[in-house]
Amino acid sequence: MSNRHVKEAFVWGRGYFDMFSLEIFIETGTFINNKPTLFHEFTHYLQNMTTINGYVNIDKYIKIFLTAFSKLGSDENNPLLPLSRYSELQNVLQNKNLDTLRESRCLGMVFEDDEYKFHATELDDYSITMIDINDTYNNQLKKIPFIAIDEKNIPLNEIVIRENMAMVNSLIIEKEGDIISSEIINEIIGYQYKEYIVLFDFINNFLPGKNLLKLVYCISEMCLNLLPMGEFAYKIFYFIKENHEELRELDTDVILNKIKQAVNYDAVYLKLFEALEHFTNEINNLFDSFNFRENEFVKILKDFHAFLVKGIEYRSIQETFYENNITNEYIQKFVSVIGCPIIYFADSHRTEIFSEVPDYFISNFSYLHGALKIFVDLYYIENPKKCPFFDYNICTFIKNDNCKNNYLRNHNYDIYESCLLTNSLLCAGIKKRDS
């Protein structure tokens, strides 16, 4: 898959969360000994499923799928998914496609040589500026705040804010608490990919000695729950810089309340939450208008949207999801409402799901995961050469070379009646069920 960038999580392992296939990839280790990386990536899943920013992204994601169905379907009951990104799908979607949706999340950074690059600047460290950047997906200028550090101008875009928030959960798992020593802070800030933790560095510089982890997590959380995110991020960090001498004399929770008051957070968030009812009705009307009642993939997308709404509703009654002691109970309260991603350990070719997940969710999620993965693989791979589940254990069928070498377009249903690929292809409408 193009532009899949595996980032290094500080001193921990390597992994990523793929929002398009709802999957956590861990390069090496196990569920037990790789918790810092695992919970870093799980935080990205929470961001997707419980914040306004996540809701808006997935709303766009589902609309891309439904547009593909409505324009390229073979018939109402069994619309065929496009088998290649080079098909007429690109002409149908125009600028509102998966590629531009990815790009709109990292405005201000350039992806080059498998890593993100940042623009040089002569501004003093911690200077804050606002720059208009064209968002191709929305075909409009978007205001992005930048913070200068080490002669680089770092955008406070969605990716940077998400990474700072996720890093906090990695540290909590590693250090088992929310107070970290100055030695560890200096080690983190001296990290070679310092640009990704610019918020951590900024807050530590202006509010030293406070509960740095809670401040970084909660401020990032605020940004992901306010639209337009860039403008509110600018207001938050400008307020911290301008009032740091007064703020540093206050307790951490009081500082957070002061920031909320400065940006009118509660009123803005409430207004956005009320608007979600409109968004939900809009996408439900979209589902109903297609009349694809017999297509299982569309039904699963609708069920997925219902999971997303549950996560947003659950989030609306919580002051924050910050927890200074991440336990199984902490995870289960989320899993019971919004489920969890598939976790794949590459070195052992093994998949795991967080413990104590209800059986009904494991089966539903595996099916959803399969359908989404099929769509994304077909969108990004012109001629898929093997079953995309061959390296995974979520398929209960005993895998062999025939599975590995099987082309998706020539799947033999007489042989593989119980495999996940078969079920996913059928539910997506790519293959027809025998009458």
Q: What angle do CA 108, 167, 136 make, to 5 degrees?
A: 25
d(CA 49, CA 309): 8
**Beta-sheet pairing, 115-117 with 119-120:** unpaired
With the CA atoms of 116, 117, 123 and 129 taken in that order, what torsion angle do they form, in degrees rounded to the nearest 10? -50
Residues near 327 by beta carbon (within 8 Å), at least 6 away in sequence: none
d(CA 385, CA 406): 7
> Which token pair is 363?
């089966």
Q: What would the two tokens of residue 312 be? A: 């947003």
Looking up tokens 């967080």, which residue turns up?
354
Q: Give the phi and the psi of residue 59 in degrees, each rounded to 5.
A: -60, -45
CB 155 within 8 A of CB 109: yes
pTM value is 0.83
For 360, counting Cβ atoms within 10 Å of its Cβ (0-12 exposed, 13-18 middle, 19+ buried), the class is exposed
Which residues 6+ apart lie within 8 Å of 286 measured at CB?
63, 66
What pLDDT sits at residue 391?
A: 64
Could you list the pLDDT tens digit for every one of the 435 residues in the chain?
Answer: 233 343 443 445 678 887 766 778 887 665 556 778 888 888 998 999 899 999 998 888 888 877 766 665 544 444 444 444 445 667 778 888 878 888 898 899 987 777 788 889 999 999 999 999 999 998 999 999 999 998 999 999 999 999 999 999 888 887 766 677 777 787 777 766 677 889 999 999 999 989 999 999 999 999 999 999 999 999 999 999 999 999 999 999 999 999 999 999 999 998 888 888 888 888 888 887 766 555 666 776 787 788 788 888 888 888 899 998 887 778 777 877 777 777 777 776 666 666 555 444 445 555 566 666 666 666 556 556 667 666 655 565 666 666 766 655 545 555 445 566 666 666 555 566 554
What integer pLDDT is reported at residue 435 of this predicted model?
45
Quick one: pLDDT at residue 378? 60
Buried b (16+ CB within 10 A) or exposed e, 115-152: ebebeebeeeebebeebebebbbeeeebebbbbbbeeb
pLDDT score, position 338: 79
Rounded CA separation 379/293 (Å): 24
* Cα distances (angstroms) measured from residue 365 to each of 280, 304, 358: 21, 9, 11
Give rounded-to-5 percent helix, strand, coil for the chain.
50, 10, 35
Q: What's the confidence (pLDDT) of residue 420?
A: 65
Is residue 262 a contact partner of residue 235, using CB atoms and an 8 Å limit?
Answer: yes
